[in-house]
Amino acid sequence: MFTVTGSGYLGGAQVTVRGARIGADGTFGFFWSTFAAADGTVTMRLPVPRVPGITITVNGIRPG
């Protein structure tokens, strides 16, 4: 499991977390949604197993 944290969101705003695994066998994208706490922070545990040698990049997407 991985834990993603962030801040600077509007309290109660929906936050989409985008993850990508880029490997020799291709690029795989994943999306998870949560809501920011009243203070604008996000803490989310992602159901992704830890696999040695694989890097997962995660970005928060802010509505524009």
Percent of the chain whose predicted confidence (pLDDT) is above 90: 17
Q: Output the pTM of the full model.
A: 0.67
Q: Which domain holds residue 27?
A: 2-61
Q: Can you tell me the mean pLDDT for 3-12?
A: 87
The confidence score (pLDDT) of residue 38 equals: 97
d(CA 41, CA 49): 24
- Residue found by looking up tokens 């009243």 in the block: 38
Q: What is the mean pLDDT of residues 4-22?
A: 85
pLDDT at 8: 87
The number of distinct structural domains making up the chain is 1
